[in-house]
Each structure stands twice: as C-alpha cells, then as structure tokens.
Amino acid sequence: MAWLNLIDSPSAGERVDHEQKVARVVAQLRAQRGDRPLSLRKKAPSHQVPKARDRKYHDDKIDLSDLDRILSIDVQARTCTAEPGVTFVDLVEATLAHGLVPLVVPELKTITLGGAVSGCSIESMSFRCGGFADTCLEYEIISAQGDVLHCTPDNEHRLVFQMMHGSFGTLGILSKLTFRLVPATPFVRVDYHTHRDLPGYQAEIAAVAAGRGVDFMDGIIHGPEQHVLSLGRFVESAPYTSRYEWVKAYYETTAERSEDYFRTADYFFRYDRGVTNVRPRSKVGRLLVGPFSRSTPLLRLAEKFYWMLPAERPSVTVDVFVPSSRFGDFMSWYWREFGNHPLWCVPYRPARRYEWLADEWWAKMQDEMVIDLAIYGFEQRDGRNYYRMLEEKLLELNGMKTLISHNFYAPDEFWSTWSRPNYEAVKKITDPRNLFRDVYTKTCRAARGLD
C-alpha cells in the first residue's frame, strides 16, 4: 500500500522521490506539441460518470500513475501531506493508526485526493465543514507549461488555489496537497430518525446543524412520506458492528433500523457498493455476486468498454444542490416529474463565498445551507431529457448540479453559475494554450462527443 513506509515527516529520500515524479510530469508536458487536447492517466479509476462519446478517451495522456504516496502525517498539527493519487481507503487506514481522519471522506473507497478536490467531494461531515477542498491548506500545481506553483489561500497564487475546487483537471495538474485531519475514535454510532413530511425533516436538519454533539449527518429519502435522517457520532466502544457487503445494501437498512454501529472505516465506506443504485437489484443476484459488484470493478469495466454504454438515453446519475429555502419547491416538482426514490440527502454548508461560483449566483443566494440530493440510476422515459429538465429547474431555483455526469447547459447558462472572469484569469496562468480544454467545453461538450 502507498502508506507502508509512512513516517511523521518526509525524509530527504521521499522528497527527492516526489521531486523526481514531478520532474517526469514536467517533462511530459514540455514535450507536447500543443495541437492536441490532454487529459490525465491515473492508477485509480475515474469516478466521473462514464460516457460513450467522451472525447477524453482519444486525448493524449499525461501519466500521473505514480503520484500515489502519503508523504507525511503531522500528528501534532493534525495535517497530512500526500500526492493526489492516494485513495481514501488507504488514507483512512493510515490516519486512523494515529487516531485521526480527514474531515471529509467521500463515500467510495477508490476516490482519490485529487479527484475529491477537482470534483467537489462532500459527505456526512459537510454540514459543518463544507467539502474536502475546504479542508485543504496548500497545493503544489504543475501548469500546462511545466511550471511548478506553490499555492495557498493567502499567497500570490491564492486565486489559483481557490479555483482548483471543481475545475475537473482543466487548470493544471495537482501534484501534492496538504489538508487538515481531526481526532477519531474506533467506532461510529448512527441513529435513524424518520419524518413523514418534508418540513419536519428540514426542521431537524436545521436544528442539528445549529447544535453540537453530532459528528455526521446525511439521510435517505425513501419516498414522499419517509424521510430518514442519519445522525452519527464517534464513540469509543460498540456492542456490535455492521458491514453491508453482501446481500443487504446499507441504504436499505436506514428504513428498518433505529440505530447501528460501525467500525469507523466501515462507516466511511458504507456506500462503497453504490449509494442507492446497488447492483444487482435482486437479493438472489446479490447473494451470488454481491461481494464482486463494488463500485471500483464496475467503473473499470465501464472505462474499458465505454463504447458499449448507452449514448442517447443514459440513466440519470447526478447530484443536485438546492438552497435549503427552495428544498420544498424542488421536491414538489421532483415528485411530480420524476417520482423516483430513494434519494441520498447530504446537507452541505459552503465554507466560504467560493471564487469558482459567479457573482450573479451569489447575489441570489440567501441560505447558509445547501441540500445535496443524489439521483442515481433513474431511467429516462417519455422521450424527455431529464438531465436538461434538472438543469432548467436548478437555474430557476438558483441551485446547481455536479458536472461529473451528462450536461446540456448553453454557455450563457453555464457561466451564470460558474465564474467566468475568475476561471479565465487562472487559465491564463496555468493553461494559456488550453491544452486541458476549458471546464465548459470539457464537461458540457467534449463529454458528449462534441467539439
């Protein structure tokens, strides 16, 4: 594993090893002719939704596969420095050995640190601390020209630092990062509270967010009259522990239990087989192949055989972010137009006024809390484009959606949410020849096979 040679601070040999890796990436970049798009080759699978016509499969590649080591854990300062290819499953194992964990641990084991920054990862601690990128203290970034930049929130590259959040690999290559850790216990207890109506559900979310004593908060909406809030706490001991790795999927248990206990790492990756889209659907199928139907091998298969994926009417797999005051409006529309459940619900408090969001968007934002709803595995019907329907409704409600999936925004719509002036200012520094494509082209056009 990447952490086996872990020490509290990097040795001279480790520093040299990392510098040699960076030098290899720089050499790759400087050898490019500049007339073909570039994308990144990593050891872990991509956790973006695979798409049949995505042009990234035909790009020239920059190999980052060896940038996968934890460089140091500072127990006193509660920080970790690591390369971007480190997976969260390896990271959690390493930091737990010191009684520490990252503040935000995404739900799938093989999501990488770099992917969590560029893809805006959040999870059940996000109601207090925002996303994983909000816990980061500094980045080492390699520009498309091969320049190595040291970026922090308060140095000359502070805008570069802030704009890496949600940039999807279009603003240079993250080669090292330092981020905060928090103390952890060996176990997590989760209590499940069920509400028949949405107002009661929202009221408890607000009360928990305003109080203390809860370390984790997420939930599963099993239907219009079954809203389950899952409240987790670090605990020192547990009368039993659960792992949902075979027939039973974790999300299903939230409708059946009042409480549950997990080893801390098992809690973090309770959704690793999928959140609400666990395959196979049938209990018999899970009995036969459940242990082999995890997210990672399925994503690897999809990457290898991407050309076999449905191109015209892909299933809807997307996270939408709705201001808390518009949650009820969105759900009334959603039940009428989609009617699909269950949904994963993650309350999320933006940690700051993000530079990557447009001033126009912030001018309409009156809420401290945003609700992330994960719509996973909905099959489109009736000849309608449900991705586009979501985009139009979110523009109306001043919401947004993740860009990891299928996107149909027009340019003016896109840049009414994402900050074009800040993005272009950083692009001039880190990728003036646009070798990595711009974020609109990459996520809204090239991903659909368009120029």
Q: Which of the residues in the chain have pLDDT under 70?
A: 1-11
With 0-12 / 13-18 / 19 or more C-beta atoms within 10 angstroms meaning exposed / middle / buried, residue 193 is middle
Phi, psi of 335 (to 5 degrees): -65, -35
- CA gap 412, 414 in Å, rounded: 5
CA 111 from centroid of its chain's CA atoms: 8
| N-to-C CA span, the chain | 40
Asked if residue 157 belongs to a domain, the reply is: yes
The Cα–Cα gap between 130 and 360 comes to 21
Is residue 210 in a domain? Answer: no
What is the maximum span of the chain, computed from C-alpha positions, in angstroms?
62
Please report the pLDDT score of residue 5 as a whole number. 41
Domain that holds residue 86: 12-183
Which pLDDT belongs to residue 9? 62
Strands, E assignment, 237-387:
259-263, 316-323, 343-348, 370-378
Q: Is residue 433 part of a domain?
A: no
With respect to residue 285, please indicate whether it lies within any of the assigned structural domains. Answer: no
Whether 397 is covered by a domain: the verdict is: no
- Going 281 to 443 to 179 to 359, the CA torsion angle's sign is negative
Q: In this structure, are residues 251 and 218 in contact, taking their beta carbons and an 8 Å threshold? A: no
Question: Residue 231 to residues 208, 214, 269: CA-CA distances in angstroms?
Answer: 9, 6, 16
What is the DSSP annotation of 47-102?
A: -SPP-TT-GGGGSEEEE-TT---EEEEETTTTEEEE-TT-BHHHHHHHHHTTTEEE
Cite the beta strand spans of 152-266 per DSSP E: 173-183, 187-195, 216-223, 226-235, 259-263
pLDDT digits (tens, 9 = 90+) for 8-50: 566 677 788 999 999 999 999 999 988 899 999 998 888 888 8
Q: Tokens 């790759």: give the residue.
A: 28
CATH code at 103?
Answer: 3.30.465.10
Q: How much helix, strand and coil, in percent to the nearest 5, is found in the chain?
A: 35, 25, 40
Residue 65 domain-assigned (yes or no): yes
Instruction: Give the integer Cα–Cα distance in Å for 303 and 292.
Output: 17
Structural domain contains residue 2: no
For the chain, the domain total comes to 1
Distance CA 70, CA 8 (A): 10
What does the pLDDT read at residue 420? 98
175-231 per-position pLDDT tens digit: 999 999 999 999 999 999 999 999 999 999 999 999 999 999 999 999 999 999 999
Q: Is residue 346 part of a domain?
A: no
Residue 10 is predicted with a pLDDT of: 67
Instruction: Give me the pLDDT at residue 290, please.
Output: 72
